[in-house]
Amino acid sequence: MKLKFLAITFLLLFARGCDFYSTSLWFFEPGGMEGETNPLTSIFGVGWNGLIIANVIVIVPIIACYFFYEFSYRPKKIAIQSTNFLDFASELYFGEKGKLHQMAYKMPRDKRMMIAHFGYVMVRMIIVASFLATFHNLCQYYSAPFYNTFRDIVGRPLFVIYGLIFLSFLYFQYRVFKKEYAVQMQ
């Protein structure tokens, strides 16, 4: 577990570093901040130092939650009546079947589980998002012909990137539920 935690944390920091590098290519050019889509810069006018501070404020708690998941959290056996995976996830988070939709706006009953799952899912999702952003920035900066064709086809590649980030969230949420499900079915 220690090696896994260190490897994933390193990968997260490396991915964020790649994103910073690819962003800096634009950021430090004359007029480079004008095309920046990050709301902290485009709306609030936050500069480079502010972006670094904001990232530290976001990343450190996520690493702490992931640390909790790897070293302190253990799934509890609970009385689950369902064998349907989605009903299981609903019972796990809210204590009854058919409530999984509440995940979008309501906190689970077990806050320790919520913190652990948050760490597991978010650390992985941010790695995916950072590498996608890096790829996008580098392809745009160096005007990669295949990416220009892709941009012509889809119009706004950011919508595709956001969709892929959302799909990665769903995938990693599924994986964490699957791990809990495996513990319950033992």
Domain boundaries along the sequence of the chain: 2-184
Low-confidence ranges of the chain (pLDDT < 70): 32-33, 35-37
* Contact yes or no for 183/77 (Cβ under 8 A): yes
pLDDT at 12: 98
Tell me how far CA of residue 139 lies from CA of 4, 82, 122, 133, in angstroms.
31, 47, 25, 10
Determine the pLDDT at residue 32.
67
DSSP structure string for 46-96: --HHHHHHHHHHHHHHHHHHHHHHHHT--PPP------SHHHHHHHHHHSS
Question: Tokens at residue 79, please?
Answer: 């009385």
CA–CA dist 94, 114 (Å, integer): 11
What is the distance between the alpha carbons of residues 38 and 41, in angstroms, rounded to a whole number?
A: 6
131: exposed, middle or buried (C-beta count within 10 Å: 0-12, 13-18, 19+)? middle
Instruction: Please say whether the beta carbons of 174 and 138 come within 8 A.
Output: no
Q: Can you give the pLDDT at residue 171?
A: 97
pLDDT for 130 equals: 96
- Residue 129 · residue 168 · CB < 8 Å: yes
Distance CA 97, CA 106 (A): 15
